[in-house]
Structure formats: structure tokens, C-alpha cells
Chain A
């Protein structure tokens, strides 16, 4: 394990940095949920996406919004993170993203990869995409069953290869959501991805939210969590570009060892999101409750909302949790990720105390 004293010093600096962000939030990640339509039905989908009614903004509405963001906040240091549903289901996807790139925005996206072929890969590069993360959630049979899409694994892998063959992207990543069901497939998956020319493999645990709540048998057990941490750390010790995601405080043992940075929930501090219908929220993973909707881009100037609202995310909300208030880790954890709070009780639904530390 890396030096504990060093980590403590770093985490203290992060705590001070977060405090500074609550006073002076700095927009760095702007998520755009282009649609909640999806051609897959993933069991773990946090947004319950699928063949659903999706109020969507028009290209003109996005254009006006992006013009406003650039005028008020600039494009420097900001990343548009395109997501859904499956963003490529939008017919005007390239129109929107090409315009964003022409303004100088850098952007990346998440995708299930099934709609990416050689031509789409070329268009993505031409539209200025810098990074992409494609989901592969297990070996072929597991992936297809988990995402309820026959042939999904094959299509997604072909999509990844099309991106690799096209080239010119800053970073091509595969993301795997690890469940109690597929954790035994990690070694085989590593062997598969190791033979591909991708830039990294992000391995994250299934979150207890959205559709996943209907399938508690998929949630990771305590020993699964430890096994996952050890897997990632061992790969990183071997020089492999494997990493955990950004969520959740992992304790001194694993912080900075399974990912490049320390835990910091940036919802409302560095991260804002625009839902498919234009609502301004902090993070798309956060439960869509009215009190978390800060405005709508169809009637509000985004920059004004960003600077003047978002108060639920810029407070010490963890102090309302009895569990967190009494915990010696709360200065680093701060109630863990905002999206994994039970907003009815104020208690964290994910806490690795007693599991990882």
C-alpha cells in the first residue's frame, strides 16, 4: 500500500479543495443526456432507459444552449460528456456534436457500441469526438443476457474494433459493470481486452439504483467488493491500464491505488447535467427528484443557474446523516457519492466502512 501519511495529506488537501469548490464551483464536466431511448434493456440501468417516451431537445435548442455556455463560461477546461440512453439513436447526433466541436468544445461519450460501424466511427472522428467508453458487461452470454440484447456483445465488440481501426481518438475505453454474477469472468475479460488496442478498461461495481434495485441478487457482496479491489490493484501493479470508476470513498487502503485520483463527488461542484428534456441537474445518476432540478435550459440561462443555484450539492449534506456525522472518515468521504444517498432518509446506500476499511 502506498504511504498512509502521504494519502492522508492528499485527502486533506482534497477536503480543502472541495470546500473551496462549494464557494467557487468550477464547471468542468457538462453531461448531455441526448435521449433516454435505447436499443438495449440493461438490468442495471440507472435511468431505466429503453423504448420509452423521450422528450428531447431539438438541434436548435442545443445550439442556443451551447452558444450560451460558450459566451458565459467559455469552453476552456470543460468537457461535454454525451450520454443517454444510447446517444447514437438520435438522427441529428452528428449535427449537434459537430456544432459543439465547431464552437471549440471538447467532447466524449458513452455508448453501447452496437450502432458503431466503420462509417459511424469515421463520422465520430470527424465530429470531433475525443474519448469514448463502450460497455461490455461480461463474456458474450453474460453480456447479452444482462443487457437483454441478442448479439449485443458481438455488435459492441465490432463497434470497438471499428473505433480502433479508424483511429484518431484520444482515448478508447471499455467499461464493465461488475455484478455478483459476472465477477468470476474478470480474468477472461482481461485476456480479451488485453489483445485489443484500447486505452483503458474501467471496472465498476453495480450501483443499487434504477433497474438494478429489482435484482438484488446481482449486487456485489462484501467479499466481491474486496475481490474487485484486489483485482484492479494487481492489474495496475502489473502496469495494466485498468481502473475503478470515480464513485465512492474506498478508504486509505485502496484510495489512489485502484484509480489515478482520490474520491471526490463533483456533482454540482464541477459537474452539471442536462437531461433529455432540458432540466438542469447535477449528475444524471442522481435520483430525479423535483428538489434536485435546478432549472431548465428552455427558460433559464444555464450559467446563471450554475452560479446561483445548486445549493443542495454545495452544503455539508452528510451532517444530516447520523451515521456519517459520527464517522471519523466523514472529512474524506463526505457522505460518499451524492447519487447513492437514500434521499428519503439522508443515509448513504453505499458505504464501504467495514468492507474495505
Chain B
């Protein structure tokens, strides 16, 4: 599996936490996408209702602000969108040996033997 700056960062943060280092002050890397809270343009002051209860924040002094981070897509993996223009790619193969109707649909019903 591919490891990246992001996975290294996550590992460092979790490991530091496990070692009893409080806060979340780094190591930060601008190139690593970290995901906290609402998107950058979320303006809390425009919200008509505040959170139902406020929770006491007991962490040590921390300059990190979740509003500075973008919200990651919830579904599936993250990606840096760089659309591939299909029209500029070579045309789709006109013929392909693949045909869905050639695939046999297994007619197996009921639980497998190991469950019975």
C-alpha cells in the first residue's frame, strides 16, 4: 500500500498522542491535507443558532484553528481533482472483447454451507 506524507503525518500525530504529548502543534506540513471542521469559507457568525451546549475546552494553548482546514469529501478517498479531458485522450477502443452479457450470473441462492 502506498504511504504518503499524509500517512506519515497521521502516524506522527497519533504516536505523539500515545506517548502522552498533548496538543496538536505539529509537525505540520502545508502540503499535507489535514481535515478538521467546516470548510475555509464557513462563517460561524452567520449561523443563526449556536451549538446547543458549549463544551469546555481544556486543551493546552493551541494556535491551531479547525476553521482553517477544508472538509474532506465524506465519501471514499480524497483526491486532488485534475479532470482528465476524455476528448483529448485516444478514442475508446471500438471493439472490446469484454461484454457483460458474456459473464455468467451464478444462480446460487441461500446461505453457504459453512453457515448452515
Binding site for B on A (CB under 8 A): 1-6, 8-17, 19-20, 23, 28-29, 31, 39-41, 43, 51, 79, 81, 88-91, 94, 98, 101-102, 104, 106, 108, 114-115, 117, 119-120, 122-123, 125-128, 130-131, 133, 145-146, 148-150, 168, 170-171, 173, 193-194, 196-202, 214-215, 217, 233, 236-242, 246, 256-257, 260-262, 264, 266, 270-271, 331
| A12: B residues at CB distance < 8 A | 51, 54-55
Is B74 in contact with A4, judged by CB distance below 8 angstroms? no
Is B109 in contact with A41, judged by CB distance below 8 angstroms? yes
Is A115 in contact with B7, judged by CB distance below 8 angstroms? no
| B1: A residues at CB distance < 8 A | 193-194, 196-201, 240-242
10 residue pairs, one from A and one from B, having the closest CB atoms? A5-B59, A17-B38, A239-B11, A170-B79, A13-B37, A171-B77, A145-B112, A5-B58, A237-B14, A8-B55
For the complex with contacts A12-B55, A117-B98, A131-B76, 17 further pairs of A-B residues with Cβ separation under 8 Å are A3-B22, A4-B58, A8-B55, A13-B66, A23-B48, A104-B83, A115-B100, A145-B114, A145-B115, A149-B106, A173-B76, A199-B77, A200-B77, A214-B111, A237-B15, A241-B4, A260-B78
Size category of the B interface is 35 or more
| B2: A residues at CB distance < 8 A | 197-200, 241
- 21 A-B pairs (CB sep. < 8 Å): A4-B58, A4-B59, A6-B62, A16-B50, A20-B42, A20-B46, A23-B48, A79-B73, A79-B76, A104-B83, A106-B79, A108-B79, A128-B86, A148-B108, A170-B81, A233-B14, A239-B8, A239-B10, A260-B35, A261-B71, A270-B74
Is B106 in contact with A88, judged by CB distance below 8 angstroms? no
Within 8 A of A (CB), among B80-96: 80-84, 86-87, 89-90, 92-93, 96
B30 at the interface (CB under 8 A from A): no
* C-alpha spacing A270/B56, complex, angstroms: 29
Chain A min CB distance to B82 (Å) = 8
Chain A min CB distance to B42 (Å) = 6
Residue of A nearest to B12 (CB): A239
| B22: A residues at CB distance < 8 A | 3
| B99: A residues at CB distance < 8 A | 91
Chain A min CB distance to B35 (Å) = 5
Chain B min CB distance to A194 (Å) = 5
Residue of B nearest to A51 (CB): B105
Contact A94/B67 with A3-B59, A131-B77, A194-B1 known, Cβ cut-off 8 Å: no
Chain A min CB distance to B91 (Å) = 8
Chain A min CB distance to B34 (Å) = 8
Chain B min CB distance to A133 (Å) = 6
A contacts with B: majority SS: mixed
* C-alpha spacing A197/B1, complex, angstroms: 5
* C-alpha spacing A127/B27, complex, angstroms: 39
Q: Determine which of B49, B64, B108 lies in contact with A19 in the assembled complex, contact meaning CB atoms within 8 Å.
A: B49
* C-alpha spacing A3/B57, complex, angstroms: 10
Contact A102/B93 with A89-B100, A173-B76 known, Cβ cut-off 8 Å: no
A94, A120, A170, A233: most-surrounded residue (chain B CB, <10 A): A170
Chain A min CB distance to B46 (Å) = 8
Residue of A nearest to B106 (CB): A149
Is A120 in contact with B98, judged by CB distance below 8 angstroms? yes
Is B51 in contact with A16, judged by CB distance below 8 angstroms? yes
| B114: A residues at CB distance < 8 A | 145
Is B115 in contact with A217, judged by CB distance below 8 angstroms? yes
Chain A min CB distance to B97 (Å) = 7
Residue of B nearest to A30 (CB): B75
| A31: B residues at CB distance < 8 A | 75
Is B89 in contact with A126, judged by CB distance below 8 angstroms? yes
Is A215 in contact with B115, judged by CB distance below 8 angstroms? yes
Is B17 in contact with A3, judged by CB distance below 8 angstroms? yes
Is A15 in contact with B51, judged by CB distance below 8 angstroms? yes
